[in-house]
Structure 1
Amino acid sequence: MVSKLDQLRQMSVVVADTGDIDAVSQLKPVDCTTNPTLVLKAVSLPRFAETLDEAVAWGRAQSGTPAAVAGAVADRLAVSVGAALTALVPGRVSTEVDADLSFDTAATVDKARAVIAAYAARGIGRERILIKVAATWEGIRAAEVLQSEGIDCNLTLIFSRLQAIAAADAGAFLISPFVGRILDWYVKSTGKTFTPEEDPGVQSVREIYRTFKAHGIRTVVMAASFRNPGEIEALAGCDRLTISPALLETLAADNGPLERRLSPDAAEGDVPARIVLDERAFRWGMNEDAMATEKLAEGIRLFARDLATLRALVAGRLAD
């Protein structure tokens, strides 16, 4: 029998949402995506003990304030984890720009260029990397600059079609609309239980996908943040799906049939009009969408918190 994971691979590009080398080796995704949370988890594993030691030793040879050196070592660790993943997947690895730069276009651009240069120093070309940036107005503007320089971007923390369209207008290579975090918000705010078909996160991604395909938008749609296999199955056929190892294993163990739910050829009918956005329209639209505003802010805070934890871990090691 063919597993649901193997069936899914015939419909969508499967991406591993992890920094776990063993999981990537076993599950063989095409791409990998990381974030500060996943890098923090990765460097706590025995497999990355030498990587952490190397980065700390490198940091001790750098000049600058303790905070600046700790930040540089954290950046080096993120690239080290990403480099290890590029050796295991045939496609791309997403590496996230610091969440605390989410509202600073110039600093995001500078950091992205530095990340690409760090990969290049290890012999890894930019065609293997996606720069992951939060889909704030400032982050989207940074992606516009980076895309013009041939640096492909993954606009993350997408919670609304408005963010998705703005990212596409900026020429983003890929967007990551979140599913499970949208569901979390609606479950908390309404107290309801949703089936996969009713799931507000699933509905959001479907609307974005249909809009992009109907209007010929080339930006890749990669659904992310899944809470259960039903959400994944409800989006089978989406361009890409980034999935945690636990859910990948669940799909690999299930030999039931899997129906394709999204297809470029079926993205017709009642499709929302292609909206035109300037900064005022974007900010007002986000202000009017409580869920998108709250989940974007929360996502940035959580990634910034884990980045701060990683920097504190590094600072502690540097001080030993």
Structure 2
Amino acid sequence: MNQLDGIKQFTTVVADSGDIESIRHYQPQDATTNPSLLLKAAGLEQYGHLIEDAITWGKKHGGTQEQQVAAASDKLAVNFGAEILKSIPVASPLKSTRGYRSIKKKVSRKRAIWWISTSSRMLINHAF
């Protein structure tokens, strides 16, 4: 038995990572993400398709360039959360301080609806 397996006997192991392969390898009970970890994981070649999808979505659903970047950023967090969710439950924060208030609400609601329709196992954190 390795140290991680020993710890799992006495506590809940939670991954705070955007690296999907590491999460699959270590099989924590839960996971959460944060923007800095997603940024690091987004630099890995195997996640390029998640980035491309987010950029396409941001261009389609944003208005100004700033709004497109904000929409793409939110979509990227959703994409990573959805991939992680395929392995374990995941929580991902929503940054609600970005852009205009109406845009934030619109993006946050769309993101929440998408998450809820994906799985009831996902927890949505609002970062106010």
TM-score interval (norm. to shorter): 0.7 to 0.9
**Residue in structure 2 matching 1:124, options 94, 118, 128:** 118
Q: How does 1:1-320 map to 2 (within 5 A)?
A: 2-89=1-88, 92-98=89-95, 100=97, 112-120=108-116, 123-125=117-119, 127-134=120-127, 139=128
CA drift of 1:70 comes to 1.1
Deviations 1:129-186 (A, max 9, x none): 222345xxxx4xxxxxxxxxxxxxxxxxxxxxxxxxxxxxxxxxxxxxxxxxxxxxxx
Relative distance call for 1:64 and 1:24 in structure 2 (3 A) is same
Relative distance call for 1:110 and 1:52 in structure 2 (3 A) is closer
Relative distance call for 1:97 and 1:17 in structure 2 (3 A) is same
The one-letter code of the counterpart of 1:119 is W
Contact (CA 8 Å) 1:112, 1:131: kept in 2 or not?
no
TM-score where L is the length of structure 1:
0.36
Distance 1:80 1:128 in 2: 16
CA drift of 1:63 comes to 4.9
The one-letter code of the counterpart of 1:37 is S
Contact (CA 8 Å) 1:97, 1:111: kept in 2 or not?
no
Query: Unaligned regions of 5+ residues in structure 1, if any?
Result: 140-320
Query: Unaligned regions of 5+ residues in structure 2, if any?
Result: none
CA drift of 1:62 comes to 3.2
Larger Rg: 1
| Other structure's SS at 1:70 match | helix
Root-mean-square deviation (CA, aligned residues, Å) is 2.6
- Identity in percent: 31
Deviations 1:82-136 (A, max 9, x none): 00000112xx2111111636xx9x998776543221224xx412x32222345xx
Relative distance call for 1:96 and 1:7 in structure 2 (3 A) is same
TM-score where L is the length of structure 2:
0.82
Distance 1:65 1:109 in 2: 16
How many residue pairs get aligned? The number is 126
| Other structure's SS at 2:92 match | strand
Deviations 1:27-83 (A, max 9, x none): 111111101111111211111111111222233333511111111111100000000
Runs of 4+ in 1 over 4 A off after TM superposition: 106-112
| Other structure's SS at 2:13 match | strand
